[in-house]
């Protein structure tokens, strides 16, 4: 069964408008996913650094104790 996204629109202008809406929704969704992935990566990196003896100090990460090996 073929996917018919633009089958119900009667005019070319209506099809273009529907395509614009779909493209905008897709690009907004991808931007939101990008933010989620970025935040997740930052949290993972923060935990990794904390395990290695770094803690957040003001705006920079500073080593608070030497890593145990």
What are the distances in angstroms from CA 44 to CA 23, 37, 69? 31, 11, 21
Query: How confident is the model at residue 59, as a pLDDT?
Result: 57
Query: How confident is the model at residue 51, as a pLDDT?
Result: 83
Q: What is the mean pLDDT of residues 26-51?
A: 93
Band of pLDDT at residue 61, cut at 50, 70 and 90: low
Query: How confident is the model at residue 31, as a pLDDT?
Result: 97
CA angle 29, 27, 34 (to 5 degrees): 55
Query: How confident is the model at residue 63, as a pLDDT?
Result: 60
Q: What is the mean pLDDT of residues 34-52?
A: 90
CA atoms within 13 A on the CB side of 30: 6
Q: Is the pLDDT of residue 7 over 70?
A: no
């Amino acid at each position: 069964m073929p996917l018919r996204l633009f089958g119900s629109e009667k005019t070319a202008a209506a099809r273009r408008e529907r395509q614009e809406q779909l493209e905008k929704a897709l690009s907004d969704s991808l931007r939101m996913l990008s933010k989620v992935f970025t935040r997740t990566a930052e949290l993972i990196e923060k935990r990794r650094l904390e395990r290695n003896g770094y803690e957040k100090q003001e705006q920079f990460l500073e080593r608070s104790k030497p890593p145990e090996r």
